[in-house]
């Protein structure tokens, strides 16, 4: 709809005929889509013009409507309660259908600039649980959105593979486990011995010192400890890859915290040279009290590093390696202070690109109304969740369409898609409660519903026996449901850019859902295959266009397309 908005913005600008009025671009940005098409297809609110003209908004709206030159694209113009409402000609929507899928303006938005997106990033030696789904799925969707908009995207899995916890794990492994046990139980065995170590360390503080000593040895290059640590990492990655493969997610870099071990000492020295580092009770910190933030701990008293040290080193390396125009970190809202702190440190170090560091926070995930917490035992492992979703989807598909070929493949698409859609449906900052009944329903605001609608459109096209033709018959006058669907489909590009600018995949989720509602409304009121010739060809093209746009949305969200359910 950007083309017609540009035409209207120019027309409004000419109709105002006064000094000090907003420019065409400002008018363009002020145009709105009424929630009720009884108020037109596009509206211009006049309230901000009241101070300029010293007139009431309804008076200004009447003057604009009266001064607007006739436009072939506009059927009529009405001034209502301070708004100028434009009713677009049905013929315009007929022609617009052939242009809806042309998104060259959108795919060139990024112009080849580089965006690094740091997401998923699990701590090795721990299983994926439902709490990891936010960073993994939101990050992957943002990656798809930025890539679609023409950016070069570097997907980074910044593995949590360094820190004192590995000192604990190495000690626990040497005391209570073996390679044979880990080979048999995998990451579950590593979690077991880590939990045991923490429990016993609460009663015997000597164990905590052993862990600190072990991590210091690891940082100093103790080969025995490094070999054990590499083994933990390999075992973990093998398990993680099963989940990533199921989600159809990959990464360009798996450089975890350990990769930056030799890059942290120069950061510490630079902080000292720039007189940013202070000693506080034996630890090295950067004082941020001037910025109303707690100090940032760079080195512990024993000289070992912490998260901020590693994150700063990683950001510097990425800037040098990738020359990013933006570096995005997708983590829980609980880490917001951490990112604000070290972003400020990078700024104080004098790096102009500190402004290009972006934290994208998200809310918590609960299951059945209960917050996930390892200490209470309320842990839902992600691979178990996905497999259960697939099994439940398979049963539903069996009931709906027992003759369906490739049931397992379809069940994977639907089950995994249900989890993804559920995670992306609300604004990312909102907390999410996962419910089987809600997520796997083929009705309502769910993944199966949008995938089923996509499959329905595919079925219509298969059964029509016609090839969609982008050369639309200009003599055909679309009905109300067809116009509503065309309008909705024409908003795709705007929605993608909006989702990108706000780092908000739910913009796409909600847009796709509304598109499916409108398609189903059209499908139920406007026969396609049984329609007369002109209407049939037009509706086949409209169905094909919906299917194309819906498919793009599914791709952006990281969901698989379903040809039949």
Query: Residue range 80-86: average pLDDT?
Result: 96
What DSSP letter does each residue of 135-146 carry, written as one string?
A: HHHHHHHHHHHH
CA distance from start to end of the chain: 33
CA distances to 5, 182, 209, 433, 462 from 24, rounded to whole Å, are 10, 66, 67, 44, 45
> What would the pLDDT profile of 529-552 be if each residue is shown by its tens digit?
988 888 999 999 999 999 999 999
Residue 432: is its pLDDT beyond 90? no
The length of the chain in residues reads: 565
> What would the pLDDT profile of 441-469 be if each residue is shown by its tens digit?
777 889 999 999 999 999 999 998 777 76
Three-state DSSP string of 468-495:
CCCCCCCCCCCCHHHHHHHHHHHCHHHH
Per-residue confidence at 376, pLDDT binned at 50, 70, 90?
very low
CA distance 267 to 467: 61
Residue 373: is its pLDDT beyond 60? no
* pTM (predicted TM-score): 0.91
Per-residue confidence at 490, pLDDT binned at 50, 70, 90?
very high
Max Cα-Cα span within the chain: 86
Residue 471: is its pLDDT beyond 70? no
Query: Residue range 167-196: average pLDDT?
Result: 94
Residue 374: is its pLDDT beyond 60? no
Residue 377: is its pLDDT beyond 60? no
CA distance 220 to 304: 10
**Percent of the chain at pLDDT exceeding 70:** 96
CA distances to 50, 125, 177, 374 from 171, rounded to whole Å, are 72, 14, 10, 21
Alpha helix (H) ranges present in 220-377? 223-247, 264-273, 307-322, 336-348
Poorest-confidence range of 295-309, 334-348, 491-505?
Answer: 295-309
CA distances to 26, 29, 67, 86, 99 from 45, rounded to whole Å, are 12, 11, 16, 11, 28
Per-residue confidence at 370, pLDDT binned at 50, 70, 90?
low
- Residue that wins the pLDDT comparison between 402 and 176: 176
Residue 365: is its pLDDT beyond 80? no
> What would the pLDDT profile of 216-268 be if each residue is shown by its tens digit?
999 889 999 999 999 999 999 999 999 999 999 999 999 999 999 899 999 99
């Amino acid at each position: 709809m950007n083309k017609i908005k540009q035409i209207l913005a120019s027309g409004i600008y000419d109709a105002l005929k006064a000094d000090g009025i907003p420019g065409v671009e400002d008018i363009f940005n002020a145009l709105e889509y009424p929630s009720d098409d009884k108020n037109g297809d596009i509206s211009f609110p006049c309230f901000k013009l009241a101070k300029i003209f010293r007139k009431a908004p309804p008076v200004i709206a009447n003057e604009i409507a009266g001064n607007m030159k006739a436009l072939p694209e506009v059927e009529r113009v009405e001034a209502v309660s301070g708004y100028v409402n434009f009713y677009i000609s049905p013929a315009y929507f007929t022609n617009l259908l052939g242009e809806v899928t042309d998104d060259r303006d959108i795919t060139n938005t990024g112009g080849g600039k580089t965006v690094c997106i740091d997401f998923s990033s699990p701590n090795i030696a721990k299983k994926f649980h439902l709490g990891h789904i936010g960073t993994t799925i939101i990050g992957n969707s943002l990656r798809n959105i930025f890539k679609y908009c023409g950016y070069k995207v570097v997907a980074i899995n910044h593995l949590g593979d360094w820190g004192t916890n590995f000192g604990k794990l190495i000690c626990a492994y040497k005391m209570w486990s073996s390679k044979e046990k880990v080979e048999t139980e995998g990451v579950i065995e590593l979690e077991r011995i880590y939990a045991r170590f923490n429990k016993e360390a609460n009663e015997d503080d000597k164990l905590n010192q052993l862990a600190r000593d072990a991590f210091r040895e690891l940082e100093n290059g103790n080969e025995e400890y490094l070999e054990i640590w590499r083994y933990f990492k390999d075992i973990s990655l093998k398990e993680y890859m099963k989940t990533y493969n199921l989600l159809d997610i990959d990464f360009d870099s798996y450089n975890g915290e350990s990769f930056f071990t030799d890059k942290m000492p120069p950061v510490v020295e630079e902080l000292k040279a720039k007189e940013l580092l202070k000693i506080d009770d034996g630890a090295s910190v950067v004082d941020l009290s001037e910025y109303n933030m707690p100090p940032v701990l760079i080195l512990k008293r024993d000289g070992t590093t912490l998260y901020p040290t590693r994150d700063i080193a990683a950001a510097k390396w990425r800037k040098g390696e990738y020359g990013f125009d933006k570096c995005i970190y997708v983590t829980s809202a609980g880490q917001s202070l951490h990112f604000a702190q070290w972003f400020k440190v990078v700024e104080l170090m004098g790096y102009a690109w500190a402004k290009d560091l972006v934290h994208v926070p998200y809310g918590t995930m609960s299951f059945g109304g209960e917050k996930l917490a390892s200490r209470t035992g309320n842990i839902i492992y992600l691979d178990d969740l996905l497999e259960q979703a697939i099994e439940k989807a398979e049963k539903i598909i069996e009931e709906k369409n027992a003759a369906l070929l490739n049931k397992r493949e379809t069940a994977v698409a639907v089950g995994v898609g249900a989890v993804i859609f559920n995670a992306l449906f609300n604004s990312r900052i909102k907390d999410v409660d996962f419910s089987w009944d809600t997520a796997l329903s083929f009705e309502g605001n769910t993944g199966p519903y949008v995938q089923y609608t996509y499959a329905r459109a595919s079925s219509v096209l298969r059964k029509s026996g016609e090839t969609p033709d982008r050369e639309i018959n200009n003599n055909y006058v679309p009905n109300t449901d067809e116009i509503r669907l065309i309008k909705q489909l024409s908003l795709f590009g705007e929605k993608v850019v909006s989702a990108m600018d706000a780092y908000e995949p739910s913009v796409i989720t909600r847009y796709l859902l509304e598109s499916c509602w409108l398609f189903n409304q059209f499908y139920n009121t406007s026969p396609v295959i049984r329609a007369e010739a002109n209407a049939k060809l037009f509706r086949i093209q409209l169905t094909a266009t919906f299917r194309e746009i819906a498919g793009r949305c599914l791709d952006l969200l990281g969901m698989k397309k379903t040809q039949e359910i």
